C-alpha cells in the first residue's frame, strides 16, 4: 500500500477499554486509554484566521478536539465547561495558546439561563465579537427502563442539552454578522435511538431539528447553521454513566469500520462547516459515524 494512504479501519487501533467508571461529567485525563484530541496530528492552514469562536463543552472529547483545531486554523477560542472539569480545560487552553491565538475559559453550569447569556457576553467582550458558535455541551446517562429515569434526571438532561443550546444560540445571534456560522453537535442517536438512552436521544433529535429550522431563519441574514452527527466516539461522556460499564469493552466495534472513533476524527467536519469553504452549506447534518447511515 502507498505510504500516503491510511486505511480508516486501522488508522486508529480498535480500542478495548477496560471497565471503568468516572463520576459525571468525567475527565479526559482519566480515560483509559487516553483519547486522541489531535494534539500531535492536526495541522492548520489559516482557514479560520481572525475568527472568534465559542465552543460549549470545549474542555474534553469532541469539543476539545474542535477547540485545538480551530486555534490552529487561526481562530480565537473560548471554551465553556463545568467547574469540575478545570484540569481538562487548562490542558485545552494551553494548546489554544500554543497556537498563538487568544483563549478564554468559561466555567459554569449551562442549566442556568444566566450562565448561557454570560458566556456569550464574556466572549464578545474578550474577543471584540463572535462569529462561530459550537453548541456541543451535553450529558448522556443511560437507564435500563423509562421508569428508571427520575423526573429530576429528565429535567437535567433537557436543561443541559436542549435549553442550553437554545439559550446560548439566542444570546449569540444578535452578535453574529453575515458570514458567521453556528454548529450543533447532534448524534446518530437522533436517527437510531438506543433503548437505554431515551431522554438523551430525544435531545439530539431536537438539536438536529433546531439546526434545520434555524438554518432557514438565519440564511437570509447571512448566517449559516449546520450540525454534526457523530457515531461512537471515545470521550469521557461514555465511562461517566453514558453506557453500561460492561458494554464499554466493545465500544464502537459494531459499526462498519469496526472501531470507535477518536475526537480528532471529528475536527475536520467542524472546521469545514465553520469555514468559507462551506459558504453554500446550510441546514445540513454531517454524519461522522464510522459508516452507520444517517438518513
Ligand atoms: P464530553 O464529556 O467530553 O463533552 C461533553 C461536555 O458537555 C462536557 O465536557 C461538559 O463540559 C459539557 N456539559 C455537560 N453538561 C453541562 C452543563 N450542564 N453545563 C455546562 N457544560 C456541560 O463528551 P463528548 O462525547 O465529546 O460530547 C460532546 C458532544 O458530542 C455532546 O453533545 C454529545 O452528545 C455528542 N456526541 C458524542 C458521541 C460520543 O460517542 N462520544 C456521539 C454522538 C454525539
Ligand atoms: Mg468534559
List of domains in the chain: 28-288 (3.40.50.720)
Q: Are 245 and 26 in contact (CB under 8 A)?
A: no
Ligand 1 centre to CA of 236 (Å) is 8
Ligand 2 centre to CA of 5 (Å) is 33
The pLDDT score that the predictor gives to residue 3 is: 76
Please tell me the number of the ligand nearest to residue 62's CA.
Answer: 1
In angstroms, the CA 89 to CA 87 distance is 5
Q: Which of 38, 61, 197 to mutate to test the pocket of ligand 1 (most atoms within 8 A of CB)?
A: 61
What distances in angstroms separate CA 48 from CA 233, 240, 274, one per listed residue? 25, 33, 8
Q: Which of 237, 241, 261, 262 to mutate to test the pocket of ligand 1 (most atoms within 8 A of CB)?
A: 237
Judge whether 200 counts as a catalytic residue: yes
Query: Given pLDDT bands bounded at 50, 70 and 90, which one contains residue 172?
Result: very high
Query: Given pLDDT bands bounded at 50, 70 and 90, which one contains residue 295?
Result: confident
Ligand 2 centre to CA of 21 (Å) is 14
ω into 282 cis (within 30 of 0): no
Ligand 1 centre to CA of 257 (Å) is 23
Helix, coil or strand: residue 182: strand
pLDDT higher than 90, residue 253: yes
Catalytic residue among 12, 81, 191, 200: 200
Phi, psi for 79 (deg, rounded to 5): -120, 135
The three grid cell numbers given for residue 113, joined into one nine-digit string: 439561563
Residues at Cβ < 5 Å from ligand 2 ion = 59-60, 85
The pLDDT score that the predictor gives to residue 198 is: 98
Percent of the chain with pLDDT over 70: 100
The pLDDT score that the predictor gives to residue 276 is: 97
The three grid cell numbers given for residue 250, joined into one nine-digit string: 466493545
Q: What is the mean pLDDT of residues 149-175?
A: 98
Which protein residues touch ligand 1 with a CB less than 6 Å away?
25-26, 57, 59-63, 81-82, 85, 109-111, 136-140, 160, 185, 187, 230, 232-233, 235-238
Q: What is the mean pLDDT of residues 87-94?
A: 98
What distances in angstroms separate CA 20 from CA 36, 85, 137, 178, one per listed residue? 18, 18, 22, 45
3-state secondary structure the chain: CCCCCCCCCCCCCCCCCCCCCCCCCCCHHHCCCCCCCCCCCCCCCCCCCCCEEEEECCCCHHHHHHHHHHHHCCCEEEEEECHHHHHHHHHHHHHHHHCCCCEEEEECCCCCHHHHHHHHHHHHHHHCCCCEEEECCCCCCCCCCHHHCCHHHHHHHHHHHHHHHHHHHHHHHHHCCCCCEEEEECCHHHCCCCCCCHHHHHHHHHHHHHHHHHHHHHHHHCCEEEEEEECCECCCCCCCCCCCHHHHCCCCCCCCCCCCECHHHCHHHHHHHHCHHHCCCCCCEEEECCCCCCC
> Tens digit of pLDDT for each residue in 157-168?
999 999 999 999
Q: What is the mean pLDDT of residues 119-125?
A: 99
Rg (CA), the chain: 18
pLDDT higher than 70, residue 197: yes
Query: Given pLDDT bands bounded at 50, 70 and 90, which one contains residue 1?
Result: low
The pLDDT score that the predictor gives to residue 281 is: 98
Amino acid at each position: 500500500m502507498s505510504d500516503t494512504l491510511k486505511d480508516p479501519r486501522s488508522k486508529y487501533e480498535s480500542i478495548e477499554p477496560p471497565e471503568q467508571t468516572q463520576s459525571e461529567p468525567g475527565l479526559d485525563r482519566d480515560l483509559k486509554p487516553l483519547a486522541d484530541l489531535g494534539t500531535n496530528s492536526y495541522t492548520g492552514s489559516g482557514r479560520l484566521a481572525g475568527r472568534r469562536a465559542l465552543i460549549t463543552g470545549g474542555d474534553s472529547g469532541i469539543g476539545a478536539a474542535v477547540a485545538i483545531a480551530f486555534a490552529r486554523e487561526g481562530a480565537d477560542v473560548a471554551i465553556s465547561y463545568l467547574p469540575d472539569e478545570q484540569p481538562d480545560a487548562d490542558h485545552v487552553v494551553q494548546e489554544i495558546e500554543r497556537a498563538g491565538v487568544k483563549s478564554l475559559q468559561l466555567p459554569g453550569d449551562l442549566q442556568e439561563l444566566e450562565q448561557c447569556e454570560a458566556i456569550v457576553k464574556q466572549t464578545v467582550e474578550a474577543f471584540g465579537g463572535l462569529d462561530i458558535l459550537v453548541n456541543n455541551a451535553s450529558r448522556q446517562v443511560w437507564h435500563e427502563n423509562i421508569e428508571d429515569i427520575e423526573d429530576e434526571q429528565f429535567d437535567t438532561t433537557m436543561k443541559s442539552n436542549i435549553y442550553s443550546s437554545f439559550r446560548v444560540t439566542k444570546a449569540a445571534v444578535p452578535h453574529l454578522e453575515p458570514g458567521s456560522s453556528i454548529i450543533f453537535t447532534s448524534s446518530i442517536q437522533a436517527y437510531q435511538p438506543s433503548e437505554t438512552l431515551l431522554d438523551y436521544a430525544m435531545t439530539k433529535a431536537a438539536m438536529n431539528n433546531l439546526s434545520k429550522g434555524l438554518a432557514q431563519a438565519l440564511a437570509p441574514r447571512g448566517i449559516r447553521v449546520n450540525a454534526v452527527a457523530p457515531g461512537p466516539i471515545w470521550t469521557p461522556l461514555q465511562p461517566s454513566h453514558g453506557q453500561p460499564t460492561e458494554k464499554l469493552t466493545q465500544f464502537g466495534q459494531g459499526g462498519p469500520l469496526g472501531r470507535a472513533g477518536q475526537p480528532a476524527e471529528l475536527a475536520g467536519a467542524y472546521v469545514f462547516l465553520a469555514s468559507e469553504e462551506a459558504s453554500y452549506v446550510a441546514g445540513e447534518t454531517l454524519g461522522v459515524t464510522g459508516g452507520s447511515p444517517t438518513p
